[in-house]
Structure 1
Amino acid sequence: MTMERTVQGIESASRMPSYLTEVLSWAPGIAQFDPGPLGVFMGYDFHLGPAGPQLIEINTNAGGAFLNAMLARAQRRCCQPAQSSPAKNPAMDRFDDAVLDMFRHEWQRQRTDSIPQRLAIVDDAPKSQFMFPEFQLAQQLLSARGVDTLILDPAELAYANGELTAEGQRIDMVYNRLVDFALEAPRHAALRHAYLDGSVVVTPNPRVHAVLADKRNLTLLSDSKLLREWDLDRESSDLLEKAVPKARLVSRDDAAELWRDRRGLFFKPVAGHGSKGVYRGDKLTRRVFENILEGDYIAQDLVAPGERGLKIDGTVTTGKVDIRLYTYGGTTLLAAARIYKGQTTNFRTAGGGFAPIFQV
């Protein structure tokens, strides 16, 4: 599968000394600390087109995996015609075991004992988050497998005497859903201090985000010549040349060229998340373009998403589609689609949202 091979090529590139030196040169200082974890639930997002899968973005703490596993199971049970061969989703069939193995492996990359006693899923105001139901599904899965699991706001954490606690209970491991990727906000200070002291296992952590998900990294991963100079194997560099759209840092020095070529570009803030602050070049006004030049942005070659036919309340329409691979250590845990209308992926489209993927 081309998408899986692309993920493996990127993760191979991310281990090269020259690549690490480059990405850490623009990363926040906290990213220099490497306690060992690889990062749970990496998300690799692709558009499908005539040239094959095209990587659009890499995300740490990619949301939706637990929801998609539940959705796929429900759809297979209720919608599979009795006379048909069962649709296959091998990753979904082993999803629960793979999740527990993933958290156990993360723990063991930083600790010697087999499994954490207590894990906290941490996000700002978690009950108000769109993905709160997913936090509950994760809590149920991990608790059923013997890991006491809490859902916490970082303000509920305290750090003293080498222990991270919440309501007097020691927290051994944090499943980090914060979008403060460097843990810089004052309200995240307890978690930051415990992490840097090695008193808690945090996954995904600032190092993982800096190495894989900082959008500036796409300027390196789309430069096959540079990757070959850094000794990435030829097969992987050739694959990334085809699968990773060209990206470059936005500079005022290139303003005239960027404005001229804008209709073929997509502009993304280097520290952005959730499609915030992104712009298709053909929709740009001069005022917005000026703001982009003042900010930290990359310009990525525009790759149109695929489309899927939909029937909503009896009306046939189409929706844009992208594919997300949820991975750990380069291995796919689950694949899902996101269906939407508009400039970027969203969950406001009638009939849109997550959709399971089956092999038939």
Structure 2
Amino acid sequence: MSTRCRNACADDDATLAAASLNRQCGCSVVAPAQLHARIVHVLQDTAGLDPTRHAHLFAPQALFVDRDSLATMEHITRALFAVSHAPAYAERVLAWAPPIARHDPRSPGGVIGLDFHLTERGPRLIEINTNPGGLLLNAFALDAVESCMPHAWTTTTSTDAAVAAGTRAWLDEAKAQLGYAPSRMAIVDEDPPAQFLYPEFHLYRQAFEQHGVPCTIHAPAALSWDGHALRDAGGVVDFVYNRLTDFALDAAGSAALATAYRQGAVALSPHPRAHALLADKRNMAVLGNRDFLLSLGLTPGDATVLAGSIPPTVQVTADNREALWADRAQYFFKPANGYGSRGSYRGDKLTRRVWETIAGADYVAQAFEPPGVRISASGIPLKTDVRCYATERGVILFAARLYQGQTTNMRTPQGGFAAVLTTRGEASGMLRKRSPSHS
């Protein structure tokens, strides 16, 4: 236990506020080097886990989150999935989606990631992702957590439970689209070994193969369409776990995959329709409109909690550009189909030159909600957000990201993915019983 935070957590007191602990507790609950070694051992290979490149993949500290905030995030997630099934909502948001998004593969889209900033007014939903990275990496970190207050604070699930739920989500997607379990699959991304989360691809490959589904990893250009089936060098592929950021499958290298998907010859998840319904950032303006949500048939409670969680968001248009520029310090500007914070700008950091370069692009302006704060073991303030990994079945796990800079990154000393700890009790159905064990 850190000497600096002994007064904050030595008494194992569940009555201490999460915000106070995040500013006072300097305890390390995970040993990143040991966690790296565990992943390498599980995979029986380094699988691209580089000690230098991934030095800040995992943070040593956890983020404390109160149970009410977790329950609110679960409520928001349920309400979001309810909206995604409403025909009037689909009609509204598919109006600005690419044509391929109108193809309905008969599945919800697998695991989504909802990114929240925790505020005094409750969780604020900043972004929704349909190809959220880090699920299995964060899952493997769970059982490595040694809480500094084990009687009072715990993780929300276990490694085995999270890995099983995450794996099942994708295999359920394949079965929903194909009508049967997949026989052979591929994890697809551009130049997979170059991807920062490449080690996670191998965790997924191993998990799928343990469920009896042979799995390969490669770029979309390695796939071909023979007029009947999608193939790679090893034979027919009937399921693709899609890690591409080519959300509309309109890149030249995605042509074979796009054709097979349109023909119903391959299960693809997440798919273009899921991205259009859930992750296009222009949708945030719609999801934040309580009256529209009520018109879809949402209950007043669901409409209030979902709309109230979303910072005011507007599309950037010719009519409002100058007004937004004048008030830019109050906004965060994001490309409608952006990902990984690319092309996103804090308004108060935005130059006129950059502003002019994005004039012809599809952008949204979202009212700025400051991220939370976690004090590192060395006393350095780190920004925080919470990612909720979920499917229509419910929340799989919560994880945090600790960072410095304008946007989340994995380059901050003592930053990276962090475990979420919450108080024990019966308030949230997803919290598991865990035997106390002092670090």
Q: 1:100 to 1:330 in 2, by over 3 A?
A: closer
Quote the Cα distance in structure 1 between the aligned partners of 2:283 and 2:140. Answer: 33
Quote the Cα distance in structure 2 between the aligned partners of 1:94 and 1:308. Answer: 27
Structure 2 residue aligned with 1:95: 162
Amino acid at match of 2:338: G
**Among 294, 297, 318, the residue aligned to 1:231:** 297
**Among 129, 132, 145, the residue aligned to 1:59:** 129
Quote the Cα distance in structure 1 between the aligned partners of 2:122 and 2:193. Answer: 39
Q: Give the gaps of 5 or more residues in structure 2.
A: 1-70, 424-439
TM-score, L = length of structure 2: 0.77
Quote the Cα distance in structure 1 between the aligned partners of 2:129 and 2:178. Answer: 25
Runs of 4+ in 1 over 6 A off after TM superposition: none
Secondary structure of the corresponding residue to residue 212 of structure 1: helix
Q: Post-superposition shift, 1:178?
A: 0.3
Question: Residue by residue, what CA displacement relative to the aligned partner does 1:115-168 show, whole Å, maximum 9, x if unpaired?
Answer: 211111000110111011000011111111211111111111111031111114
Q: Post-superposition shift, 1:91?
A: 5.6
1:283 partnered with 2:349: yes
Quote the Cα distance in structure 1 between the aligned partners of 2:321 and 2:422. Answer: 45
Amino acid at match of 1:287: R
1:4 partnered with 2:74: yes
Quote the Cα distance in structure 1 between the aligned partners of 2:77 and 2:393. Answer: 6
Task: Kindly report which structure 2 residues correspond to 1:130-209, keeping only aligned pairs within 5 A, or say none.
Answer: 130-209=196-275
Question: Residue by residue, what CA displacement relative to the aligned partner does 1:230-259 show, whole Å, maximum 9, x if unpaired?
Answer: 332211111123211111110121123212
Structure 2 residue aligned with 1:343: 406
Structure 2 residue aligned with 1:41: 111
* The 10-residue stretch of structure 1 (101-110 or 130-139) with the greater mean CA deviation from structure 2: 101-110
* The 10-residue stretch of structure 1 (181-190 or 228-237) with the greater mean CA deviation from structure 2: 228-237
Q: 1:82 to 1:208 in 2, by over 3 A?
A: closer
Question: Residue by residue, what CA displacement relative to the aligned partner does 1:207-243 show, whole Å, maximum 9, x if unpaired?
Answer: 1000100111011001112222333221111112321
**Among 303, 317, 328, the residue aligned to 2:380:** 317
Structure 2 residue aligned with 1:112: 179
Question: Residue by residue, what CA displacement relative to the aligned partner does 1:185-219 show, whole Å, maximum 9, x if unpaired?
Answer: 01111111111100000000001000100111011
C-alpha contact (below 8 Å) 1:91/1:333 kept by paired residues? no
Aligned residues: 353
1:331 partnered with 2:394: yes
TM-score, L = length of structure 1: 0.94
Quote the Cα distance in structure 1 between the aligned partners of 2:160 and 2:232. Answer: 34
Q: 1:151 to 1:14 in 2, by over 3 A?
A: same
Quote the Cα distance in structure 1 between the aligned partners of 2:112 and 2:148. Answer: 33
Q: 1:16 to 1:86 in 2, by over 3 A?
A: closer
Q: 1:47 to 1:182 in 2, by over 3 A?
A: same
C-alpha contact (below 8 Å) 2:111/2:170 kept by paired residues? no
Quote the Cα distance in structure 1 between the aligned partners of 2:286 and 2:393. Answer: 18
Amino acid at match of 2:72: T
Q: 1:281 to 1:86 in 2, by over 3 A?
A: closer
Structure 2 residue aligned with 1:29: 99
**Among 277, 286, 291, the residue aligned to 1:220:** 286
* The 10-residue stretch of structure 1 (20-29 or 159-168) with the greater mean CA deviation from structure 2: 159-168
Q: Post-superposition shift, 1:169?
A: 1.3
Structure 1 residue aligned with 2:328: 262
Question: Residue by residue, what CA displacement relative to the aligned partner does 1:303-332 show, whole Å, maximum 9, x if unpaired?
Answer: 000000102xxx311100000011112611
Question: Residue by residue, what CA displacement relative to the aligned partner does 1:309-356 show, whole Å, maximum 9, x if unpaired?
Answer: 102xxx311100000011112611111000000111111111111011
Quote the Cα distance in structure 2 between the aligned partners of 1:348 and 1:239. Answer: 34
* The 10-residue stretch of structure 1 (284-293 or 122-131) with the greater mean CA deviation from structure 2: 284-293
Q: Post-superposition shift, 1:296?
A: 1.0
Amino acid at match of 1:230: L
Secondary structure of the corresponding residue to residue 422 of structure 2: coil
Q: Post-superposition shift, 1:101?
A: 2.5
Secondary structure of the corresponding residue to residue 94 of structure 1: helix
Secondary structure of the corresponding residue to residue 364 of structure 2: strand
Quote the Cα distance in structure 1 between the aligned partners of 2:95 and 2:384. Answer: 35
Higher relative strand content: 1
The percent of aligned pairs where both chains have the same amino acid is 42
Q: Post-superposition shift, 1:41?
A: 2.1
Q: Post-superposition shift, 1:73?
A: 1.9
C-alpha contact (below 8 Å) 2:153/2:422 kept by paired residues? no
1:355 partnered with 2:418: yes
Quote the Cα distance in structure 1 between the aligned partners of 2:185 and 2:174. Answer: 10
Quote the Cα distance in structure 2 between the aligned partners of 1:92 and 1:216. Answer: 35
Secondary structure of the corresponding residue to residue 63 of structure 1: coil
